[in-house]
Amino acid sequence: MTSLLAWGGYVPRLRLNRGKAVEANSWFSPALRALGRGERAMCNWDEDTLTLAVEAGRDCLGPERDDVAAVHLASTTAPFADRQNAALLANALGLDERVGTMDIGASQRAGTSGLINAFASARAGSGPVLFVAAEDRLARAGGAAELRNGAGAVALLVGDGAGVAELVGFEQSAVDFVDHFRSQGQAFDYGWEERWVRDAGYLDIVPRTLDALLARCAVEPGAIDHFVMPCTLRGVLPKVAARVGLPEASVRDPLDAVMGEAGAAHAPLLLAHALESAGPGELVLAAGFGQGCDALLLRTTERIAEGRRGRGIGGWLARRREETNYGKFLAFNGLVEQDTGMRAEAERPTLLSTLYRNRDLVTALVGGKCRICGTAQLPRSAVCVNPNCGEFHTQDPYPFAERAASVLTWTADRLTYTPDPPAHYGIVQFEEGGRLMADFTDVDPGDVEVGMRMRMVFRIKEHDAKRNLKSYFWKAAPA
């Protein structure tokens, strides 16, 4: 039997106060005031779709990752058009190089289609599949999409055996209904008229798909305990539920007020969030809309409480810091051209051959541990750094990414260029041995102190604007 074994997620810490964005743009578009309530999740300057995916995968898997056979990544905003994003994700998670990888995109229902495909792959005998969906969509400044969009990621582990939920059935429909589109080479979506999208799209295509699924599974609509579907159009969710006959109490909060809509990741993210509060034997119905509709029906098992291994969606939603500086949001997303000064002009192109030779250190933060004396060190070298040992060629690979750490020394520097000054960095000491000079992220001036607990996070290190290549490395963030 193929089941859902575990889930995890990630929502960026920063939440843009929508009221501040409306305040800055209402001189031009007063109608934005209707969207001014709540907040939306926004990426820090060193976060993108890939780093969100890494955090979601870590949250789902925990430290035990040896049995993952495949990694599938769904997104319409993955950083690379011709460099497999799923392969980089698998490497950052420290998975075996023999793992299968696949990128999925081109539609807002890539998240639900990808999850259906993950179940099919696991059922066909591929082994456990880690399915990850992540999204951070750009929008033009001063538009409704800027307020409605959000950033986030979800990861679901699917495999054989008794799990926390079983797939009762699924239904898919492919309809070239263009509610919005983004052509090759464009940065922003072009959206169509909302009333038409609501009436001819959501209220027609989705109910037909849900009706077909429930009929195929011989499940009465009134038996559904949780119904999730991303939609930022007011009143659509209860209308869809009413047309299908779903209980009013089954309609779950789409989380629009607290994080916005995370594109292709949002439907599976809402599914994971529903599972966090579901009890054994409950039916969860999830729908994804975009050039058709996907619908999945899952039934939770007695082991449902075991599925959340990390913080989960609820935990990351609770870990938030309000951002009231709309100008910072624009700068972080490249929506305004800044004079960043001469220190930002230094060219440091990524040497791809060097990156490959050091990929275990750079991408997976793998150091070494001496098999003679047990000393851990970063980076791995030919000689043990323990002065009482000094043995040659005794270093076994030793991953540091999941090791607890604390601040040993630190400084805040306003001379070194960073998109979010001041630059915080210092030496972190790992509890089981090893030290690293690291950049700090997700910290605020005055909040860093010696002894502070830290965790390592995979983030953007630099952006080579001339070649449009992002380089990634691990930074230290508050635990």
What is the DSSP track for 359-380? HHHHTT-EEEEETTT--EESS-
**Closest to 133 (Cα-Cα) out of 119, 112, 117, 160:** 112
pLDDT value of position 439: 98
**pLDDT level of residue 109 (50, 70, 90 thresholds):** very high
pLDDT value of position 342: 78
pLDDT value of position 339: 83
- Which runs of consecutive H residues, i.e. helices, occur in 101-229? 110-123, 144-148, 194-196, 203-217
Confidence check: pLDDT of 347 > 90? no
**Does residue 422 have a cis bond before it (omega within 30 degrees)?**
yes
**Closest to 108 (Cα-Cα) out of 273, 294, 313:** 294
pLDDT value of position 212: 98
> pLDDT of 300-328, one tens digit each?
999 999 999 999 999 999 999 999 999 99
pLDDT value of position 368: 97
Cα angle 378, 381, 387; round to 5? 85
Residue range 119-140: mean pLDDT, rounded: 96
pLDDT value of position 85: 98
> pLDDT of 445-478, one tens digit each?
999 999 999 999 999 999 988 888 999 999 999 9
Average pLDDT, the chain: 96
**pLDDT level of residue 229 (50, 70, 90 thresholds):** very high
Q: How far is the first Cα of the chain from the last one, in angstroms, to the nearest whole number? A: 37
pLDDT value of position 464: 86
What is the percentage of the chain residues whose pLDDT exceeds 90? 93
> pLDDT of 269-302, one tens digit each?
999 999 999 999 999 999 999 999 999 999 999 9
The mean-pLDDT minimum among 257-261, 338-342, 379-383 falls in: 338-342
State the angle between helix axes of 203-217 and 236-244 in degrees (0 to 180), rounded to the nearest 10.
Answer: 40
Quickly count helices (H) and strands (E) in the chain.
Answer: 14, 22
**pLDDT level of residue 338 (50, 70, 90 thresholds):** confident
> pLDDT of 5-19, one tens digit each?
999 999 999 999 999
**pLDDT level of residue 344 (50, 70, 90 thresholds):** confident
> pLDDT of 22-35, one tens digit each?
999 999 999 999 99
User: What's the distance, CA 265 to chain centroid?
Assistant: 8
Considering the chain, tell me which residue range(s) the CATH 3.40.47.10 domain(s) occupy.
2-332
Token pair 């996070």: residue: 457
Residue range 164-182: mean pLDDT, rounded: 97
Name the amino acid, one letter, at 40. Answer: R
pLDDT value of position 32: 94
Confidence check: pLDDT of 345 > 80? no
Q: What region does 400 belong to: left with phi over 0, alpha with psi -120 to 50, or beta?
A: alpha
Residue range 185-197: mean pLDDT, rounded: 94
Q: How far apart are CA 294 and CA 193, in angstroms?
A: 23
Q: Which CATH number fits domain 2-332: 1.20.1260.10, 3.50.50.60, 3.90.1150.10, 3.40.47.10?
A: 3.40.47.10
Residue range 207-222: mean pLDDT, rounded: 98
